Amino acid sequence: MKHIQTLLLIEAVAKAGSIRKAAEDMNITSSALNRRIQNFEEEFGAPIFERLPRGVRLNPAGELLIQHIRGQIAELDRVRSQVADLSGLRRGHVSIACSQALQPYFMPAEIAAYRAEHPGVSFSVHVRDRDAAEEDLRAYKSDLALVFEPTHLGEFDVLLTLEQPVYAVMAKGHPLATKETLRLRDCLDFPHVVPPKRIGIRYLLDLAVANMSQKMQPVAEADSFEFMRHYVQQEQAVGFQFPIGLNLKGDDRLVFRPLQKRDVAHGNLTLMQMRGRTLSVASARFANQLAAALNNLPGELVRLDLKSN
Amino acid sequence: MKHIQTLLLIEAVAKAGSIRKAAEDMNITSSALNRRIQNFEEEFGAPIFERLPRGVRLNPAGELLIQHIRGQIAELDRVRSQVADLSGLRRGHVSIACSQALQPYFMPAEIAAYRAEHPGVSFSVHVRDRDAAEEDLRAYKSDLALVFEPTHLGEFDVLLTLEQPVYAVMAKGHPLATKETLRLRDCLDFPHVVPPKRIGIRYLLDLAVANMSQKMQPVAEADSFEFMRHYVQQEQAVGFQFPIGLNLKGDDRLVFRPLQKRDVAHGNLTLMQMRGRTLSVASARFANQLAAALNNLPGELVRLDLKSN
DNA sequence: CTTTGTGCTTCGAAATTTGCAGCACTCATT
DNA sequence: AATGAGTGCTGCAAATTTCGAAGCACAAAG
């Protein structure tokens, strides 16, 4: 789009931190870019960047503006999506940020199901921890976010919340595998591997341990659940994961046992969008499908909390 | 603003209904305008106008787009207002649509009070009946609307609602002036003058009369309250108005008596804005001032119903 | 003190936009 | 049927805007 070019350039400069770098990124000369910015500031009525010896940086007015720009670009996409939809094309693109646990089973199945009905719709999936996912929403980089234990709930529109208990993950034949449900202290008696602090499940574990005399002493801290899955088969270790990220019945090497709620609080899986934003047709429908799918998960594992839209 | 010029042109064409007319309005040639539109449709990916033998008209996609355009323009104004505000200038513009009753006393006083503190802020006041006021909000022609008995409440954000009884207006020495409060049937026994159906107060009167054996037989129907004020001094006629549009104590030619609520329902004076829209700094503050002022009107005449933001 | 990197300016060239005139068409009027 | 006024659209040359290459002044780093 032509009439938005200047806005895109401004965003590029803001990201690059320097007019010359941004000019290179956008394949134009620095002089042209420089003047476009100056002209824009003239028309806008106020400077957008503060000039530093080492480059430029957005000033407060610019921060306001860049937020507006991102919103407008996303909004234009939405309008085009609506137009495509009413011309019967059912095209579109959905960008979603989600927790790691959704990656192996849930998201692939949902996306495939959606694309079976709407082959013209494409997807971007970004695995993000809970803070990064919210940042993506704010910057209009993702349309939706589906994460455990979001940190700033109030700043977003919540489409659905769902509780999931924390499960212990261990190799078949592990001594703890004999019990139906486990206490956290039993797990901590064995070598355990946990994710880093920015991950939702670690947050819940930290909260739980804070009230115990026993302390957490992980033998490994890894942000990859794949690592954890394989590590617990090496020594008699215990890992942790939400059931939505596990193949509860079908795994022939691992066993999974829920931790009691009085020990470790359940995780809140939350589907969110930018506050007040109207999503594209494709995104809105996919969000509805996600909500329905989460709502129909096997009963004992989940409990529905809130639903809107 | 340069990067929005094409959008403004599109809006002009939509309003004019013809490219040539719009070109004249915008002081360019029709060929230039024609090609800008064609280029835009090319970039946008779909036609915006349907070509008729007599001109052009927005197609459904265009309707969607024009709504986006108006929103974008209003949004940009808001950002500029915010920027002006944080640079300490306290500039801005407030556009408000309101019922006739607000015109003589309330709005002038409120605007003057606001401008006393913020001389950099200018105002547009549009007197509109309740439907036209809502249309203004939808088309982003007004930031705020303050009207009696809005028709499609659900489509807007309601900032405040206030009840006002209907008053009978008559000349000093009128036979009915002896009573403190009046019944509607007493008024209808005299010649009466009422506003046309699109005005809120007429709507309330029609509702009231529907349940009575007595019928309304206006000697005059006029959309000007000024006319009504003067006419009731000519013969022993009765008019109707809300107290906010009357100088209750200070009028030396007219007297005003409230109608009982069981006869005529109270009018709902409602302050609204476009749903989900973030107003400019000036508009938001003025809205707050209006809400406070309405809240502090003399007690017996009004009753507060709802307040938010 | 040199080097590197920055924003900004100048000026001729390139690209885009504009205006004029005219075409093909439809509709209302004669 | 003829006419005229209205429409959207299109070549083409002129006007306007934008761009790119080079260079300047300045500040921080080496």
The full set of domain ranges for chain A reads: 5-67, 90-163+267-307, 167-258
Tell me the C-alpha to C-alpha distance, in Å, between residue B99 and each of A74, B133, B134, B272.
Answer: 37, 8, 11, 12
Query: Is the Cβ–Cβ distance between A171 and A248 less than 8 Å?
Result: no
Buried b (16+ CB within 10 A) or exposed e, A92-129: bebbbbbbbbbebebbeebbeebeeebeebebebeebb
User: What is the reported pLDDT for A2?
Assistant: 84
CA angle, B260 as apex, B257 and B266 as ends, to 5°? 95
CB A280 within 8 A of CB A92: yes
Reply yes or no on whether the pLDDT at A307 is more than 70: no
Cα of A248 vs its chain's centroid, Å: 23
Q: Report the Cα A250 to chain-centroid distance in Å.
A: 27
pTM metric for this prediction: 0.78
From the candidates B83, B89, B93, B309, which should be mutated to test the interface with A, based on the most A CB atoms within 10 A?
Answer: B83
All residues at 6 or more sequence positions from A217 whose CB lies less than 8 Å from its CB, including other chains: A188, A192
Tokens for B161? 């609602």
- Strand D: positions under 7 A of a protein C-beta atom: 6-11, 18-23, 26-28
Structure tokens at B198: 């699109």
- Tell me, yes or no, if the two domains B90-164+267-307 and B167-258 fold the same way: yes
**Which uninterrupted H or E stretch holds B227?**
helix B225-231
Mutation for B interface: A83, A93, A279, most B CBs within 10 A: A83
Distance CA A56, CA A66 (A): 14
Asked whether residue B31, judged by its CB, lies under 7 Å from any atom of the DNA or RNA strand C, the reply is yes
So what's the pLDDT on residue A53?
A: 87
pLDDT score for B299 = 47
Pairing verdict, β A239-241 and A167-171: antiparallel
Long-range contacts of A293-297 (CB under 8 A, 24+ apart): A293/A106, A293/A110, A294/A160, A294/A162, A294/A269, A295/A160, A295/A162, A297/A162, A297/A244
Q: Strand C closer than 7 Å to the CB of A3?
A: no
pLDDT classification of A224: cutoffs 50, 70, 90: confident
Average confidence (pLDDT) over B267-277: 93
Confidence (pLDDT) at B298: 62
pLDDT at A300: 42
C-alpha to C-alpha distance for B11 and B68, rounded to whole angstroms: 11
Give B65's contacts in chain A (Cβ within 8 Å): 79, 83
Query: Which of A3, A9, A281 is the best mutation test for B, with the most CBs of B within 10 A?
Result: A3
- Of the partner residues A1, A46, A72, the one whose CB lies closest to the CB of residue B83: A46
Angle made by CA atoms A11, A14, A20, in degrees to the nearest 5:
100
A284 CA – D14 C1', rounded, Å = 50
Q: Determine whether domain B1-89 maps to CATH 1.10.10.10.
A: yes
Which of A5, A7, A79 is closest, CB to CB, to B64? A79
The pLDDT tens digits of the residues spanning A146-204 come to 999 999 988 899 999 999 999 999 999 999 999 998 999 999 999 999 999 999 999 99
How much is the pLDDT for B84?
86
Does nucleic acid strand C have an atom less than 7 angstroms from the CB of B91?
Answer: no
Report d(CA B217, CA B106) in Å as an integer: 31
Looking at domain A90-163+267-307, what is its CATH homologous superfamily? Answer: Periplasmic binding protein-like II (3.40.190.10)
CA B15 to chain centre: 21
* pLDDT score of B278 more than 60: yes
- Note the CA–C1' distance, B135 to C11, in angstroms: 52
> What percent of chain A is predicted at pLDDT more than 90?
78
User: Could you tell me the distance in Å between the CA of residue B45 and the C1' of nucleotide C20?
Assistant: 30
Structure tokens at B287: 């809205």
- A79: nearest CB among B40, B65, B82: B65
Compute the distance between CA of residue A157 and CA of residue A276 in angstroms, rounded to an integer.
7
pLDDT tens digits, residue range B182-230?
999 999 999 999 999 999 999 999 999 998 999 999 999 988 888 899 9
Give residue-wise pLDDT tens across range B222-255: 888 888 999 999 998 999 999 999 998 888 899 9
User: Is residue A273 pLDDT above 90, yes or no?
Assistant: yes
Whether B247 and B121 have beta carbons less than 8 Å apart is answered as no
* Min distance A27 CA to chain B CA atoms (Å): 20
Q: Which amino acid is at B53?
A: P
Q: Is B101 helix (H, G, I), strand (E, B) or coil?
A: helix
Do the Cβ atoms of A68 and B87 come within 8 Å?
Answer: no
Class of domain B90-164+267-307: alpha beta
Average pLDDT over residues B59-79: 92
Residues of B in contact with A6 (CB under 8 A): 2-3
Distance CA A99, CA A91 (A): 26
Q: What is the mean pLDDT of chain A?
A: 90
Nearest Cα to A194, choosing from A208, A178, A177, A180? A208
CA of A23 to C1' of C8 (A): 14
Q: What is the 3-state secondary structure (H, E, C) of B118-138?
A: CCCEEEEEEECCHHHHHHHHH
With a cut of 70, say whether residue A113 has pLDDT above it: yes
With tokens 């990220």, the residue in question is: A245
> Looking at per-residue confidence, does B1 or B71 come out higher?
B71
- Using pLDDT thresholds of 50, 70 and 90, give the confidence band for residue A298: low
| Average pLDDT of the segment spanning B172-182 | 92
3-state DSSP assignment of residue A290 = helix
Least confident of B84-98, B139-153, B170-184: B84-98
Per-residue pLDDT, averaged over A70-74, amounts to 91
Q: How far is CA B263 from the centre of its chain?
A: 26
CB atoms B43 and A2 under 8 Å: yes
Question: Could you tell me if A56 and B63 are in contact, meaning their C-beta atoms sit under 8 angstroms apart?
Answer: no
Pick the CATH number of A167-258 from 3.30.1540.20, 3.30.572.10, 3.30.70.260, 3.40.190.290: 3.40.190.290
Higher pLDDT, A1 or B281: B281
> What pLDDT does A302 receive?
43
What are the angstrom distances between the C-alpha of B28 and each of B33, B37, B287? 7, 13, 38
Q: Tally Cβ neighbours within 10 Å of residue A184.
A: 22
In CATH, what number does A5-67 get? 1.10.10.10
Q: Which residues touch strand D (CB under 7 A)?
A: A 28-32, 35-36, 39, 53-54; B 2, 18-21, 30-31, 34-35, 37-38, 51, 53-56
- The whole-number average pLDDT for the span A49-62 is 91
Yes or no: say if A111 and A125 are a contact pair by the CB < 8 Å rule: yes
